[in-house]
Amino acid sequence: LARLKTNNDGDLPTESCVNGYVYEPMETQYPSTIVAEWDLVCENSWKNPFSTSVYMFGMMMGFLSGGFLCGLLGRKKALYLATIFECAFGLAVTFAPNYEWYIALRFFLSAACTVKVAAISVIIVEVTTARYRAFFSAGSSLCFQCFYRALHALFAMFIHNWRYLHLTIMVPGFIGLFTILWMPESPRWLVSQDKDRKALKTLYKAYRINSTCKSGPRLNFEEFLEETGYSHVTDDPKKPKKSFKLTEFLRGFGKGFAAPYQNADIAKRSIISTFLFTGQMCAFFGMLFYTQVIRGSVYYVSMLNALTSVPGVLISTLLYWRLKSRKKPLLTLYAIAGTVLLVGGLYTVIGKPESEIPLIVSCNIALVLLGAALNMLFIYTPELFPSSIRSQGFGNATGLGRVGSILCSFINQLDLQLGHGVPVIIYGGILLLQFALTCCLPETDGENLADVVHSEEDK
């Protein structure tokens, strides 16, 4: 009896997974995973969330290096270079022979993808006016956040091998190799590099395209310069090409990284922006990954989450189109989203309802608002920095902010350890902190963006 009592109390040592692990996929889950292929269970179960964290760390490094590359090479060249690496590493991931190669290749893949995002975000800010900037940002957001993610879920329903699925979703990257060639370079970057005439030629091309449907004669380039008051601008001086030196490159990277902290005002904006992106990425990606523990079809839940980005994009576009303020709409969204998550999470933890509907509804309402807030951050944050350091300031904030997306995988594990719904409460608290941080940033209206950093004496 004493032996039975000891056994029932759980004091005897146990050995996990003695006879191996049997994989029996559920109808509601994707059948082919790296967990089953490389036995990421039992003592190796930590490797599954670790692979996600490595991917997020790659995104962090991508934003940091993307800001530097966009400033060094130009927005267009950095974008094209990142697309080449995205295609190369995407193909390599498809044929990864083991777990170690898989996470290493995914690190570089995620870095390349986020260099693209950084370049596209800065280009949108620099080639559009404040009133219509949100519309162009909306098009980019709909492609990445809705259409692309919805296609992932749709293809996953019919392609039941993760390698073939990964190869399929790489197709848009290969298409990008050709479409990017038609993009113009950012005129603001050209001006910041003392390439005024090239910037004017880019603006002249925009003038010709915009006047295609208008009647009447079009100005030639010299007339365009006269009309705009830049006839005095001469050809850009040719700079001698320098041979590549690793030490100079690393020194330049260090200077570029430090540029958004060169005076008190810019440093304050950089630090607060970094914390904002940390909280935003933690809550947004955490809620997306949380669908894995919401009990339901992963296909339909993922599709639903993708569709929630549509109203999010519409909300951010309409608010920034109708309102001059960048800050007040963001504050409103954080307050509502944080409250909704706290209510849904507390109800699930305390009430322990049998139905998942209240939690799913609150999570998807929050995802709509978080999607809108993310779109707003990608417009508002670059406007806080002058053109000469815009890509680096934005890259530092978004890159270092990826720490939040690394942490969210482990926060979601608390659902199993502390109770179903606990991560949702944590994300709600984070969003209320976002509200407080946003209050500390200056207001912008998107007009008259600065091109250079002004010293304290100039102010």
What pTM does this model have? Answer: 0.73
Can you tell me the mean pLDDT for 202-229?
80
| 333 & 411 share domain | yes
Question: What is the C-alpha to C-alpha distance for residues 10 and 4, in angstroms, rounded to an integer?
Answer: 10
What is residue 429's predicted lDDT score, i.e. its pLDDT? 94
Residue 431: predicted pLDDT: 95
Arithmetic mean of pLDDT, 86-111 = 93
Residue 92 has a pLDDT of 94
- Burial annotation 392-431 (CB, 10 A radius, 16+ → b, else e): bbbbbbbbbbbbbbbbbbebbeebeeeebbbbbbbbbebb
Work out the average pLDDT over 401-429.
85
pLDDT at position 447: 64
- pLDDT interval class at 287 (50, 70, 90): confident
pLDDT-wise least confident of 78-87, 327-336, 412-421: 412-421
Closest to 126 (Cα-Cα) out of 388, 301, 407: 388
Residue 435: the pLDDT is 95
Note whether 203 and 346 are same-domain residues: no
Q: Has residue 168 been placed in a domain?
A: yes
Residue 4 lies inside a defined structural domain of this protein: no
Task: Give the pLDDT score at 240.
Answer: 63
Same domain, 54 and 89: yes
**Closest listed residue to residue 280, CA positions, set 237, 329, 232, 337:** 337
Q: Which of 25-39, 91-105, 112-126, 246-260 has the highest mean pLDDT?
A: 91-105
Q: Among 197, 204, 203, which Cα is nearest to 238's?
A: 197
Average pLDDT value for residue range 186-212: 83
Pair 398, 63: CB distance under 8 Å: yes
Same domain for 382 and 362 = yes
pLDDT for res 271: 93
Indicate the number of domains in the chain: 2
Mean pLDDT across the stretch 5-16?
54
Residue 122, pLDDT > 50, answer: yes
In a domain, 273, yes or no: yes
Residue 2's pLDDT is 42
Judged on CB neighbours under 10 Å (0-12, 13-18, 19+), 332 is middle
The answer on 206 and 113 residing in a single domain is no
253 is a domain residue: no
Closest CA to 425 of 365, 351, 373, 363: 363
Average the pLDDT over each of 89-93, 171-175, 223-227 and give the range with the smallest value: 223-227
Domain boundary among the residues 184, 211, 228 is at 228
| Cα dihedral 26, 29, 31, 34 sign | negative
Evaluate if residue 347 carries a pLDDT over 80.
yes
The reply to whether 140 falls in a domain is: yes
pLDDT attached to residue 1: 39
Mean pLDDT check: name the lowest of 215-219, 313-317, 454-458.
Answer: 454-458
Confidence band (pLDDT; 50, 70, 90) for 321?
confident
CATH number, domain of 392, equals 1.20.1250.20
Q: Are residues 222 and 90 in the same domain?
A: no
Which structural domain range is residue 221 located in?
196-228
* Residue among 269, 263, 267 nearest 443 (CA): 269
The pLDDT of residue 296: 60
pLDDT band at 15 (very low <50, low <70, confident <90, very high): low
Please check whether residues 181 and 218 belong to one and the same domain. Answer: no
For residue 18, give the amino acid letter.
V
Most confidently modeled range among 4-18, 65-79, 232-246, 423-437:
423-437
> What average pLDDT does this structure show over 70-77?
85
Whether residue 215 is found in the same domain as residue 311: no
Return the pLDDT at 292: 55
pLDDT band at 31, cuts 50/70/90? confident
9 pLDDT tier (thresholds 50, 70, 90): very low
Q: Would 318 be classed as within a structural domain?
A: yes
**231-259 per-position pLDDT tens digit:** 777 766 666 666 656 677 677 777 777 88
Classify residue 1: in a domain, yes or no: no
Q: What is the mean pLDDT of residues 252-281?
A: 87
Q: Determine the pLDDT at residue 72.
A: 81
Q: Which of 82-96, 156-170, 299-313, 381-395 has the highest mean pLDDT?
A: 82-96
User: Which of the two residues, 401 and 104, has the higher pLDDT score?
Assistant: 104
Which of the pair, 167 or 130, is modelled with greater confidence?
167
> pLDDT: is 194 or 81 the higher one?
81
Mean pLDDT for the chain overall: 81
Instruction: Look at residue 16 and tell me if it is in a domain.
Output: no
C-alpha angle 58-61-63 in degrees, rounded to nearest 5: 110
Residues 202 and 188 in one domain: no
User: Three-state SS across the chain?
Assistant: CHHHHHHHCCCCCCCCCCCCCCCCCCCCCCCCCHHHHCCCCHHHCCHHHHHHHHHHHHHHHHHHHHHHHHHHHCHHHHHHHHHHHHHHHHHHHHCCCCHHHHHHHHHHHHHHHHHHHHHHHHHHHHHCCHHHHHHHHHHHHHHHHHHHHHHHHHHHHHCCCHHHHHHHCCHHHHHHHHHHHHCCCCHHHHHHCCCHHHHHHHHHHHHHHHCCCCCCCCCCHHHHHHHHCCCCCCCCCCCCCCCCCHHHHHHHHHHHHHHHHCCHHHHHHHHHHHHHHHHHHHHHHHHHHHHHCCCCCHHHHHHHHHHCHHHHHHHHHHHHHHCCCCHHHHHHHHHHHHHHHHHHHHHHHHHCCCCCHHHHHHHHHHHHHHHHHHHHHHHHHHHCCCHHHHHHHHHHHHHHCCHHHHHHHHHHHHHHHCCCCHHHHHHHHHHHHHHHHHCCCCCCCCCCCCCCCCCCCCC
pLDDT band at 56 (very low <50, low <70, confident <90, very high): confident
**What mean pLDDT comes out for the span 100-104?**
93
Same domain, 173 and 273: yes
Tokens at 53, concatenated: 């964290």
Confidence at residue 459, expressed as pLDDT on a 0 to 100 scale: 46
* Structural Rg of the chain based on CA atoms: 25
Dist. CA 186–CA 37, nearest whole Å: 45
Residues 71, 206, single domain; the answer is no
- For the record, the structure tokens of 88 come out as 């190369």
Q: Do residues 215 and 161 share a domain? A: no
